[in-house]
Structure 1
Amino acid sequence: MSRESHADSYYAATAHPAPERPPLNTRKHADVCVIGAGFSGVATALSLTERGYRVIVLEAARVGWGASGRNGGQIVNGYSRDLDEVEKHYGENAARTLGAMAFEGSQIIRQRLADYAIDCDLHDGGVFAALNRKQLDGLKKRHADWQRHGHSELELLDSDTIRRHANTDLYVGGLLDKAGGHLHPLNLVLGEAAALEAQGGIIHEHSPVTHIESGKRPTVHTDDGAVQADYVVACGNAYLGNTVPSLRARTMPVSTQVVATAPLDQSTVDRLMPAGTCIEDCNYMLDYYRMSADHRLLFGGGTVYGGTTPANIEAKLRPHLARTFPELADVDFDYAWSGNFALTLTRIPDLGRIDEHIYFTHGYSGHGVTTSHLAGQLIAEAISGSPERFETFSALRNIPFPGGRSLRVPLTVLGSWYYQAREKLGL
């Protein structure tokens, strides 16, 4: 059996020590079997063990091997679709319920850090940065919408005050979310996995699922073992593959790339990003970045539909970094890596049931750090007999990508070109 290691990333190089869990090699029984040991799977499993359930997690590679150990490490509240769009397409009740939950994922993360003493370099504060007046007007509207739903830890920034967060000529303003922030994502999921095991949960790594046998007590099969449980939760997200065939067409894998510079001196850090917050811009194909605990600039972007990795990640991202901070145009990169997230056509997370005993969650569309933790809480509530909040998400219609699997990538690329052209024209 192939035993894949974590991607060659800054996060893997600076991860806390973690045990390598043995593969599943026998038949076991549990209350719940969770497929995938990323944020979704571990968060769901931990929420369930906290409620007293016996949980087994099956992971094809290592804990945090996929997007959870490769992302930008930003705590971004809300969803990839603004709440006014949710209300427009799904109605006032859906917008009200999703709006009330929009910041809950970040609250769950902070509570877990406190409850289980997880060390993952948390720093508070995240900024949405506007490159033009239209984007700034959009942020003003988002600010008003979030306040309408009870979220008040927000501050609008003008072209001067945003320089406390990103000292660049690029932005005309922004929106500071004081409840946002950034952290070391791999150390977060490793810490949560350790907490899960301390609660009695079991994780089997190097145990790819081959198929699920449905029924009153579904059975999850691997090459060398099986888990029979009352409930199954599929949490593979962009890395689920064809494990659950009916889910494959509901999302599209999209790769995003990250580089980590060599460590910067303190004066450069203080000059470029004095507040220590993280940034994501408002472009359709956005850039995002932050300083690590050891003073590296972690800079991400370079979206590729279909989930392929560019031949040269550094060449793809360097012009974006240079545009943002010209003095770093020639900075050395110590790490460069790629990872996939799952995109839905609606940009709304896709939570639901395949049948009475099999749940799934995926499609966070770039907001996976926070929304995965919310999803885990909602699924645990549903399995525990309180499905109301989960059902708000599961009732939202998931629209398949046009053109099926063969055409969804080229058609989505055409759509992205359209929106990028509008941005360049200021429309």
Structure 2
Amino acid sequence: MTHIAYPPSFYAASANVSPQRPALHGEVETDVCVIGAGYTGLSTALFLLEHGFKVCILEAAKVGFGASGRNGGQIVNSYSRDIDVIERSVDPKKAQLMGEMAFEGGRIIRDRVQRYQIACDLKDGGVFAAFNAKQMKHLEAQKRLWQRFGHQQLEILDQQQIRQVVACDNYVGGMLDMSGGHIHPLNLALGEAAAVEALGGAIYEQSPATRIERGNQPRVHTAQGSIKARFVVVAGNAYLGNLLPELAAKSMPCGSQVIATEPLSAEQAASLLPQDYCVEDCNYLLDYFRLSADKRLIYGGGVVYGARDPANIEAIIRPKMLKTFPQLQNVKIDYAWTGNFLLTLSRLPQVGRLADNIYYSQGCSGHGVTYTHVAGKVLAEALRGQAERFDAFASLPHYPFPGGRLLRVPLTALGATYYSLRDKLGF
């Protein structure tokens, strides 16, 4: 069987040492079989193990191989579409639950890091940067919205204040969220996997699920074995393939590109981001950046609909970086990589059941670091018979992409072009 290695990202090159995990061979029986060893699967497994369940995870490649190990590493609260959008879609009680959960993911991450002593370069503080007055009004409204749900760690920054946070003349202001922050994302996943195993969970790598046999005790098959379980949790997101066509029909894999510079001097790094906060701008197709622990600038942005790998990632992202930080003109790019996330038409996550004993969560829509950790807790609650918060997520309306599988990529890209034009024109 072909061994799938990590793609050549900065995160893979600087990952903590982790064991080679075996592929599944033969038949195994467990309480819960989780498909996918990214954040959703790992978070679900940890919450279940902490409540006495026996758990096995099947991973097609390696722990954190997908978006969990390749993302920008930013802890950002709420969802890809904010709570006000959700309030227009579901009843007030469910909207209240969704609003409360919007700020839970970061707390779960910090609890995991502390409880299991995960070395993942956790730093506090995230900034939303505005290019124009319209975006500033949006941030002021967002602050009021988040405060309505009890989130108080927010500060509006004027033009002078944001220049003290990020050395860029492009922004008119911003909002600082001290409960945001950043991490080494692959090391977080590896640390959570080690915690799963320390609690008695089993992780099988290089073991893609090929078929789910449904029934009173579903069985998940791989090329060389199978797992019989009381429950199955499907957490493959953009890397699920066609294992479950009914999930693929209402979602679309998309690629995001990231670069990492050579290590900067301490003085140069401090001149770019003096407080070492992470930053994302307020555009529809946003850019995001932060410093790594060894003082590289990690800069990401752009979306490739349909998850096609670009031929030259640096050519796409370096001009964006230089527009933000022209002083980095002569800085070398050491790493450039892409990774897929799963987009839904509503930009809201899809959570539900395919049967009484088969659960799923997918479609973080580029906003997954915090959401996936909440999703794991919510899925574990549902398996334990506490489904109120699960049902709030499951009540969100979802729709197929217009044009079906053939036209979903060009039509979505056309819509994104429209919103990008609006961003550029400031209306």
Q: Would you say the 8 A contact 1:262–1:296 is kept in 2?
A: yes
Inter-partner Cα distance in structure 1 for 2:169 and 2:160 = 10
Q: Secondary structure at the match of 1:30?
A: strand
Q: Are the aligned partners of 1:318 and 1:329 in contact in 2 as well (CA < 8 Å)?
A: no
Q: What amino acid does structure 2 have at the position aligned with 1:400?
A: P
2-structure distance, mates of 1:240, 1:419: 29
Cα distance in 1 for residues equivalent to 2:165 and 2:261: 18
Per the alignment, residue 299 of structure 1 pairs with 299
Residue in structure 2 matched with residue 426 of structure 1 by the alignment = 426
Letter in 2 for 1:307: A
Match of 1:92 in 2: 92
Answering whether residue 425 of structure 2 is matched by residue 417 of structure 1, we say no
Contact 2:95 2:392 survives alignment (8 Å): no
User: 1:90: how far off?
Assistant: 2.5
**Matched residue, 1:40:** 40
Residue 200 of structure 1 and its aligned partner are, at CA, apart by 0.4
Partner Cα separation in structure 2 for residue 286 and residue 91 of structure 1:
30
Kindly report which structure 2 residues correspond to 1:20-419, keeping only aligned pairs within 5 A, or say none.
Answer: 20-419=20-419
Shift of 1:95: 2.3
Deviations, residues 5-32 of structure 1 (Å, cap 9, x unaligned): 1110100010011011110011010000
Contact 1:321 1:329 in 2 (8 A): no
- Structure 1 position 94, deviation (Å): 2.9
CA distance in 2 between counterparts of 1:200 and 1:108 reads: 20
- Tell me the distance in 1 between the aligned counterparts of 2:24 and 2:295: 40
Alpha-carbon offset, residue 89 of structure 1: 2.6
Provide the secondary structure at the position in 1 that maps to 2:210.
Answer: strand
The whole-number CA distance in structure 2 between the counterparts of 1:256 and 1:160 is: 31
For structure 1, the 5+ residue unaligned runs are none
* C-alpha separation in 2, matches of 1:202 and 1:151: 37
Give the TM-score of the pair, scaled to structure 1: 0.99
Paired positions, count: 427
**Local SS of the residue matching 2:177:** strand
Moved over 4 A (4+): none
- Alignment gaps of 5+ in structure 2: none
Q: Give the root-mean-square deviation of aligned CA atoms.
A: 0.8
Q: CA deviation at 1:287?
A: 0.3
Amino acid aligned to 1:5: A
Contact 2:89 2:396 in 1 (8 A): no
Q: SS of 1:160's equivalent?
A: helix
Q: Supply the distance in 2 between the matched residues of 1:55 and 1:280 (Cα, whole angstroms).
A: 36
Q: Which amino acid aligns with 2:361?
A: T
Q: Distance in 1 between matches of 2:309 and 2:358?
A: 32
- Matches of 1:304 and 1:132, distance apart in 2: 26
TM-score, normalised via structure 2 length: 0.99
Find the residue that maps to 2:335 and give its secondary structure: strand
**Contact 2:64 2:190 (8 Å CA) reproduced:** yes
Deviations, residues 347-405 of structure 1 (Å, cap 9, x unaligned) = 11111100100000010111111100000000000001101101100111111111111
The residue type equivalent to 2:227 in the other structure is: V
Cα distance between partner residues in 1 of 2:86 and 2:392: 12
Identity percentage over the alignment? 56
After TM superposition, give the deviation of residue 93 of structure 1 in Å. 2.6
Q: Distance in 2 between matches of 1:289 and 1:221?
A: 40
